[in-house]
Amino acid sequence: MRRARPLLGTIVEVEVGGPTQAAAERAVAGAFEAVSLVQRLMSFHDANSDIGRINREAFRTPVTVHPWTARVLRYAQVFHAASNGLFDCAVGFELMRRDLLPSDDLDHVFAGDFNAVRLSADRSVRLTAPVAIDLGGIAKGYAVDRAIASLRAAGIRHATVNAGGDLRVMGEIDQPVYVHVPNGGLLPAGYLRNGAIATSSSVAAVDRGGAPRSPRSATDGRAYSVVAPSCIIADALTKILVQTGQTQHPCFDRFGATAFISGGDLRSMAA
């Protein structure tokens, strides 16, 4: 059974196999609710989301967040440190400056980096500088992981969740995977079993993950893909791949990931 809904600024597809129709419907509904909750908690556009409250209040007073938000922020800290700052979710100011994100009630925000974020054990968040956080480069992958976790808890053993190119497969089934290359259609990328893949273009990395620290063309016609054990890891690491173009970057090995680049003047540049 396959169902799709517009969420996270894209189309989220959930496909399951095995149980009865009624059980499958309940499980898929739970998966979509998990994705919806991630959207409600981590949307930059919603002033009442955890991220909205952090950006507006945490420079002045600590903000307590949902456990899922705290978990994603901890992941963001790990990726920021492991990549020596290449992965940085404190890019709200730059994206607002480019009119890629709304700036309502954020006149106090300045440029900075993720080192300004302080997350306590009680899930309170404090900003040591008036930066703005955007989790657009990592939250979609986490939402896919939460959907898979919800399906597993509901007794589903075989499933695929795809959120606009962030895809995770659960179960002992080889799932064929295709990579969307800008202006180049779909290219086969092999098969995936019990794992995740995320793909970004250079344009997507600028829009969702912040300004690249090293200059790269925003229209290079290539797709930057990472295969990893979970979708949050794959999603985050694509931003590092876009900025460096290095399929052997140390971060990939550290997180059990494999990177490859497709399209452009080469059909595939695999690790």
Q: In this structure, are residues 191 and 64 in contact, taking their beta carbons and an 8 Å threshold?
A: no
Q: Which CATH class is domain 45-127?
A: mainly alpha
Written as one letter, the residue type at 236 is A
At residue 205, the pLDDT reads 40
Per-residue pLDDT tens, the chain, 271 aa: give them: 999 999 999 999 999 987 788 999 999 999 999 999 999 999 999 999 999 999 999 999 999 999 999 999 999 999 999 999 999 999 999 999 998 898 888 889 899 999 999 999 999 999 999 999 999 989 999 999 999 999 999 999 999 999 998 999 999 889 899 898 887 788 888 999 999 999 987 654 444 344 433 334 445 788 999 999 999 999 999 999 999 999 999 999 999 999 999 886 544 444 3
pTM to 2 decimals? 0.89
Q: How far is CA 105 from CA 90, 124, 162, 171, in A?
A: 17, 21, 34, 45
At residue 265, the pLDDT reads 55
Closest to 116 in 3D by CA, of 55, 72, 75: 55
Are both 2-33+140-270 and 45-127 of the same fold? no
Which of these CATH numbers, 3.10.520.10, 3.40.50.300, 1.10.390.10, 3.40.366.10, describes 2-33+140-270? 3.10.520.10
At residue 180, the pLDDT reads 87
Dist CA 9 CA 188 (whole Å): 25
At residue 23, the pLDDT reads 92
Ordered by start, the domain boundaries in the chain are 2-33+140-270, 45-127
